[in-house]
């Protein structure tokens, strides 16, 4: 039973009960219709109290139903019947009331929420608009501007905020009890939202919302359609507004963006230890972090945030002092942004020890090394960790590229070693690549997954190769960008194309932020193993020779006069012209779609190889890596989901054209050819070696 009822005095308590978060599926909608039908036979009823079992009121419509045709009864009809019911309904909002959950509450005459619950209409984050009256009822209740803030961004409000803006009528520790004792006069006076006057038109609020959507949700359809619907509330009747809303909801629901956003929503939740991983992780209390640079300090802060004790190790006192400054910077920034209060800051500092003596971490169950990217440095850190930490402590490296098998081979028990690859800033970015080396034990992997859960990160299992999943794809992306640059474009044209595709910034601006020297050092490391038959683009090396290392030197692919905004640099553009001339290349003028196509297909091709080699377990994991670690537009569903939307046969066709044009750069991945031969998508592909 997904809806249960209990008669208590003159109240009928209706409980939504579909664990874990009371998603509203067909059975629940039917259950509510049955309750509504049964109300006629109840005598002496003064109110119906709607609440939820467990931790939620209702998390919204069951998004797992969105791929199929809608089945009756539809939520808007349920909502309309609740609103029209002779007996007033009271929403006793015990936990989150999101999407359809919020819309059920808006159908009620009165709303009481428990403190701390969140209430909102996050539909746009799933690529749809509210589909059960939210866009028409909320503006009538709280005004156009506030409704826009909630509906077009999808951001929920807390119970306290909801009360302040008039979205709810009261807050109570036990909302059901308060609903029971609510004065009957108050209830009779409470109006149905559909009877409230339409909000006054507010052109400025609409224009502001559109501008914000263009900036924060560029490329996404749903926020703009939601704004149109809210605007309609002051112009159209409730009936017309509701039917336009329903039409829009059904139209978006099966569109590419909604499918992509649903895919990522469920993929994120499915990121859990694989079934074969049976080992239990021992409880963690203290973690050692080696290296207090930007990355190490970020990791240390992430651990402190999650309530762990941290020993941050450095090589000498001077480095310890620098590490302290780096952590303090993050604490101060978090204080300033209101993410923590003074007591929270002190609590975090009290759990942090900094030392240049590895013995200080003798009680740590896990160490995460984030020292300089050099095999020699890493090997000596691991030897020191092995000596200082308990015998069964798990030893992780945060290396981005180095061979973890080689790092592990210096430890007497290599089964304790794995990769835990964080992304900068480590206390913010949600991705955690858990890298499994040849000897890594299941316990070590279980510790990695348990840590991801503690830190609320998205874990993705990766195998050992140069760059694992994410950086290996990134390297191909940059290589494709440099090739396009050398053969005809400018860095700013490349960046513009990728921003138009949906990235927050293009590959060149991003490199200027992180520094060109990192990738340069990496290329030098790869010199000995690089495929001599592959075209090498020398422009980035020239940049480093010229001292153009990015923002930190005031110039990289762009110039940053006065440390401020970026400016195109004709000297950089000329570099490509020169290099192309030396190489005897006639440059071509790529259009924006051509640039985008080359960069995206280069990534897809590499990712397909990664799948084939078993470096990633499945396409979904690559989607998670690209979205949560590398800024791939979430509304495109991740790299492989996007590839499947393009169609693998179409991708192969284009890659074959490129390969004919320049076989030193392009080669079609066997995985893609296999998919075409078997008539399957990348999502369906299972590597042959697993
Ligand atoms: N539909 C289907 N399943 C849902 C769901 C939904 N709307 N919301 C959550 N779930 C599932 C999750 O997939 C997960 O399943 P699993 O246990 O099998 O992995 C389970 O419920 C628990 O979810 P979380 O792990 O996310 O639990 P949290 O406690 O961390 O978060 C939450 C709870 C804040 C409710 C979060 O799940 C959430 O944000 N859900 C989506 C809310 C939303 O977008 N609602 C709008 C839906 S569209 C709609 O309502 C249309 C309407 O206007 C007609």
CB 281 within 8 A of CB 447: yes
Whether 286-464 and 3-248 are alike in CATH topology: the answer is no
Residue 383: its pLDDT value, please?
96
* Ligand 1 touching residue 61 (CB < 6 A): yes
Q: Is 260 helix (H, G, I), strand (E, B) or coil?
A: helix
Annotated active-site residue 103? The verdict is yes
Q: How far is the CA of 61 from the centre of ligand 1 (A)?
A: 9
* Ligand 1 touching residue 261 (CB < 6 A): no
**To 10 degrees, what angle do helices 592-612 and 670-678 make?**
80
Residue of 98, 139, 91 whose CA lies nearest to 114? 91
Q: Whose CA is nearest to atom 19 of ligand 1?
A: 269
Residue 690: its pLDDT value, please?
41
Q: How far is the CA of 279 from the centre of ligand 1 (A)?
A: 28
DSSP calls for 153-172: H---EEHHHHHHTTSSSEE-
Q: Whose CA is nearest to atom 8 of ligand 1?
A: 59
* Ligand 1 touching residue 101 (CB < 6 A): no
* Ligand 1 touching residue 126 (CB < 6 A): yes
Question: CA separation (Å) from 304 to 69, 369, 397, 428, 679?
Answer: 47, 16, 19, 13, 48
Max distance between CA atoms of the chain, in angstroms, equals: 92
Q: Enter the ipTM.
A: 0.99
CB 124 within 8 A of CB 156: no
pTM: 0.95
Identify the residue whose tokens are 């020239």: 542
Q: Which CATH class is domain 286-464?
A: alpha beta
Q: Write down the architecture of domain 471-684 according to CATH.
A: Orthogonal Bundle (1.10)
Domain ranges of the chain: 3-248, 286-464, 471-684
Q: Whose CA is nearest to atom 15 of ligand 1?
A: 269
Q: How far is the CA of 128 from the centre of ligand 1 (A)?
A: 14
* Ligand 1 touching residue 79 (CB < 6 A): no
Is the domain defined by 3-248 classed in CATH 3.40.50.150? no
Q: Which of 83, 103, 314, 493 is catalytic?
A: 103
Write out the two tokens for 498.
């990728």
* Ligand 1 touching residue 96 (CB < 6 A): yes
* Ligand 1 touching residue 456 (CB < 6 A): no
Residue 689: its pLDDT value, please?
42
Annotated active-site residue 123? The verdict is yes
Write out the two tokens for 370.
């984030």
Residues of the chain with pLDDT under 50: 688-690
Q: How far is the CA of 252 from the centre of ligand 1 (A)?
A: 19
Q: How far is the CA of 263 from the centre of ligand 1 (A)?
A: 13
The phi and psi torsions of 600 (rounded to 5 degrees) equal: -70, -40
């Amino acid at each position: 039973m997904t809806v249960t009822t209990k008669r208590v005095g003159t109240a009928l308590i209706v409980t939504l009960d579909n664990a874990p978060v009371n998603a509203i599926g067909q059975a629940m909608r039917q259950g509510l219709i049955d309750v509504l039908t049964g109300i006629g036979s109840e005598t002496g009823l003064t109110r119906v109290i709607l609440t939820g079992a467990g931790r939620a009121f209702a998390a919204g419509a069951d998004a797992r139903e969105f791929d199929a045709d809608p089945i009756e009864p539809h939520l808007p009809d349920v909502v309309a019947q609740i609103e029209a019911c002779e007996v007033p309904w009271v929403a006793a909002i015990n936990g989150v009331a999101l999407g359809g959950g919020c819309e059920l509450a808006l159908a009620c005459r009165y709303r009481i929420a428990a403190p701390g619950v969140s209430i909102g209409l996050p539909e746009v984050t799933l690529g749809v608009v509210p589909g059960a009256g939210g866009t028409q009822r909320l503006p009538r209740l709280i005004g156009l501007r506030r409704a826009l803030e909630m509906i077009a961004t999808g951001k929920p409000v807390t119970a306290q905020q909801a009360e302040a803006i008039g979205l709810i009528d009261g807050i109570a520790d036990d909302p059901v009890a308060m609903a029971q004792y609510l004065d009957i006069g108050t209830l009779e006076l409470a109006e149905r939202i559909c009877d409230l006057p339409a909000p006054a038109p507010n052109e400025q609020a609409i224009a502001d919302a559109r501008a914000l959507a263009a900036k924060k949700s560029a490329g996404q359809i749903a926020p703009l359609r939601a704004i149109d619907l809210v605007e309609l509330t002051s112009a159209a009747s409730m009936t017309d507004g509701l039917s336009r809303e329903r039409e829009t909801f059904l139209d978006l629901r099966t569109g590419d963006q909604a499918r992509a956003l649903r895919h990522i929503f469920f993929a994120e939740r499915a990121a859990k230890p694989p079934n074969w991983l049976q080992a239990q992780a021992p409880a963690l209390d203290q973690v050692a972090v080696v290296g207090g640079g930007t990355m190490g300090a970020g990791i240390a802060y992430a651990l402190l945030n999650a309530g762990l004790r941290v020993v941050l190790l450095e090589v000498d006192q001077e480095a310890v002092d620098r590490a302290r400054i780096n952590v303090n910077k993050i604490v101060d920034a978090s204080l300033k942004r209101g993410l923590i209060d003074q007591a929270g800051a002190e609590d975090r500092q009290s759990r942090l020890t900094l030392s240049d003596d590895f013995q200080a971490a003798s009680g740590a169950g896990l160490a995460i090394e984030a020292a300089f990217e050099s095999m020699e440095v890493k090997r000596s850190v691991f030897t020191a960790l092995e000596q200082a930490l308990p015998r069964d402590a798990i030893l992780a490296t945060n290396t981005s590229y180095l061979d973890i098998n080689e790092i592990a081979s210096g430890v007497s028990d290599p089964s304790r070693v794995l990769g835990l690859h964080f992304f900068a800033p480590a206390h913010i970015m949600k991705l955690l690549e858990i890298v499994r080396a040849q000897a890594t034990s299941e316990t070590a992997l279980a510790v990695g997954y348990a840590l991801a859960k503690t830190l609320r990160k998205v874990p993705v299992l990766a195998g050992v190769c140069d760059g694992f999943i994410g950086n290996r794809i990134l390297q191909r992306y940059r290589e494709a960008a440099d090739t396009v640059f050398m053969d005809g474009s400018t860095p700013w044209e490349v960046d513009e194309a990728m921003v138009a595709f949906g990235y927050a910034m293009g590959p060149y601006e991003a490199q200027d932020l992180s520094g060109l020297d990192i990738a340069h050092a990496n290329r030098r490391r790869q010199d000995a193993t690089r495929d001599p038959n592959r075209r090498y683009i020398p422009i980035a090396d020239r940049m480093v020779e010229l001292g153009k290392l990015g923002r930190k030197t005031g110039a990289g692919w762009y110039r940053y006069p006065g440390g401020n905004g970026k400016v195109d640099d004709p000297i950089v553009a000329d570099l490509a012209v020169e290099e192309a001339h030396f190489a005897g290349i006639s440059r071509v003028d790529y259009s924006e779609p051509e640039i985008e196509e080359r960069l995206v297909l280069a990534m897809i091709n590499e990712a397909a190889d990664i799948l084939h080699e078993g470096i990633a377990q499945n396409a979904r994991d690559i989607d998670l890596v690209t979205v949560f670690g590398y800024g791939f537009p979430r509304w495109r569903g991740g790299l492989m989901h996007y590839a499947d939307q393009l169609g693998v046969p179409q991708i192969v066709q284009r890659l074959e054209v490129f390969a004919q044009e320049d076989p030193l750069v392009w080669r079609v991945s066997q995985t893609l050819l296999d998919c075409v031969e078997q008539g399957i998508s990348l999502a369906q592909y299972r590597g042959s070696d697993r």
